[in-house]
Structure 1
């Protein structure tokens, strides 16, 4: 016999609460099963979400323009195509340049193996340690590799033919997986951009229903955090690549444009740009261009210091109202925990922490 609400309000309330908990448990179980099923594609979907959040203001602006008004599919197709060009064209350029330079690199390595690397003149003018450094260089780097003490170490860790074939096959499989993942990422991005305002309204309504008015506000602040992090990492990285690319060009570094692109990609990651420009400075130093090497190193240190300590924190923390220390913890901790995707997830998590703290101390 069913109990009516008017007959026993307390029993009806208990039954209603039980049904709600059962529904919540069912929804959570279905969500976990769905995530487990799509676990291989979750990173691609997350990257698509980050990119969609980053270009959302542009999407909203273009929706009001005449060519794209009431044409969400066309707008999503144009934006997805532009973003794919941004992803694919630099990679193709790097691959083409790498293939073109493969023979030169091989000849350079063969030359080093035959003749060694001569001791730079600057070592003889060092205020201290010149004799020891020159002696070590002469015995390890300035002689042919076949007679160098380093040759046995390299040979001990060398690969046999079967191992090389195995490694090559593994690299090919990883490259194929990366291409498939990139294709799925672009398809997911197209679907998100096609949904447009409808998707945004649904996410806002879902967060409001789950967490109340604070949920919608939290979702908006997380979106702003992800967007500002993209601007801080990508835009500042591109700026560093352009400035250091100009320095490479005037210093006489070969393929300055390509190296500038590599620097831009490295600068999007914390503390990776110095690896590139110090490597370029070392190449100039080894080849006798001491003044150019010093100029590249000093320029790189100044550019990276200004970008990492002033420009990037201002862009990221300014729009999210996060302290610089929280931004740094979010970026570095996110990268350590979640990989590249953590660069954007970390600051968003710090934003959640800040919102919860502000709510608690009110």
Structure 2
């Protein structure tokens, strides 16, 4: 007759040396696990951010339609939607670049044969016109100087750039696929993981641990709304302005503006480049319109809308939100947009409880 193994005694019944040894073993295994997954930690973090940001909508649909027999359809639909959000803009940019490839090749050939035509606005400069015109004709207007410029810029670097770009692209695609795979399972098992995380936080840190977790989640929700959604709104508005102003590839520049606008005070880099392109075409008035509209939209977004969306959700002063965003980007890269404010929100929560303002 087969004997069943004896039940493992509870942890609190173990002796102190056993508890210390078990804690050391758990810490060692945790460090080994992190070291094993070190190349995928960024993908895991992105998947967690997407899951947290979309979980309210996902939970609402679960309550409305249920999970189904195998709980696959809804997680797969949300994962596909996240993939489409990234693939569609990249595909749009790729199509635009493919359409412009032949034109760029013809332009490079024409430059090496005839030089670069001097922009019309140089003739309208209030001062320094003769010096700029002389330099342009000597270095860019002359076919020999333009040919040297093209060779110095592209020659010998194209192969290296293509190889580096290819390696980076393969790495990014692999990380993105792993992010989507992780995201699918987070949606599928999210309810169980949430319950386990809450129990673990309460067991390890008491009620304060659960409050910190809730504050971090609220910070991520607020950051997604304040950075991503507001950034997309800025890109849409300025993209319309670009199209009206006659900017070439206005859709692509609008997309770049939306991406840059997710980082506070980064959008001006893009719309100032757009204004310079309009200046090069001689459209001085439209360049001024783009600059004016750009600063107006970003000023309203950065000083009124974002503080309400991010600070209102986390009860965090906007100064700390801004420091968390900028410091997070500096230390963690793009994912620091969400890590930075979350860390600041948790620290402010601990500070408020420490000084006796009570749990937030």
TM bucket normalised to smaller:
0.7 to 0.9
- Partners of 1:116 and 1:272 lie apart in 2 by 34
Select between 351-360 and 16-25 the one with higher mean Cα deviation.
16-25
Deviation at 1:300, TM superposition (A): 1.3
- 2:61 aligns to what? 62
SS in structure 1 of the partner of residue 204 of structure 2: helix
- 2:201 aligns to what? 207
Q: Judge conservation of contact 1:63–1:70 (CA < 8 Å) in 2.
A: no
Deviations 1:161-201 (Å, cap 9, x if unpaired)? xx643432232122112111111100000010101221111
- 1:5 aligns to what? none
Quote the RMSD (CA, aligned, Å): 2.4
Aligned pair partner of 1:147 in 145, 148, 162: 145
- 1:321 aligns to what? 315
SS in structure 2 of the partner of residue 197 of structure 1: helix
Q: Judge conservation of contact 2:121–2:281 (CA < 8 Å) in 1.
A: no
- 1:44 aligns to what? 43
- 1:339 aligns to what? 333
Q: What is the count of residue pairs matched by the alignment?
A: 345
Q: How does 1:1-362 map to 2 (within 5 A)?
A: 16-66=15-65, 68=67, 72-141=71-140, 143-144=141-142, 146-147=144-145, 159-160=155-156, 164-362=158-356
Q: Judge conservation of contact 1:225–1:319 (CA < 8 Å) in 2.
A: yes
- Partners of 2:99 and 2:149 lie apart in 1 by 30
Select between 164-173 and 333-342 the one with higher mean Cα deviation.
164-173
In the superposition, the TM-score normalised over structure 2's length comes to 0.88
In the superposition, the TM-score normalised over structure 1's length comes to 0.87
Q: Judge conservation of contact 2:44–2:182 (CA < 8 Å) in 1.
A: yes
Deviation at 1:216, TM superposition (A): 0.3
Q: Is the alpha carbon distance of 1:89 and 1:293 closer, same or farther for their aligned partners in structure 2, counting shifts above 3 Å?
A: same
Q: Is the alpha carbon distance of 1:337 and 1:264 closer, same or farther for their aligned partners in structure 2, counting shifts above 3 Å?
A: same
SS in structure 2 of the partner of residue 65 of structure 1: helix
Deviation at 1:212, TM superposition (A): 0.5
- Partners of 1:70 and 1:217 lie apart in 2 by 34
Deviation at 1:207, TM superposition (A): 0.9
Deviation at 1:310, TM superposition (A): 2.1
Deviations 1:102-131 (Å, cap 9, x if unpaired)? 111222344344444444444444444444
Deviation at 1:356, TM superposition (A): 1.7
- Partners of 1:342 and 1:53 lie apart in 2 by 16
Q: Judge conservation of contact 2:138–2:145 (CA < 8 Å) in 1.
A: no
Select between 29-38 and 128-137 the one with higher mean Cα deviation.
128-137
- Partners of 1:344 and 1:95 lie apart in 2 by 28
- Partners of 1:165 and 1:117 lie apart in 2 by 25
SS in structure 2 of the partner of residue 288 of structure 1: coil
Structure 1: unaligned runs, 5 residues or longer: 1-12
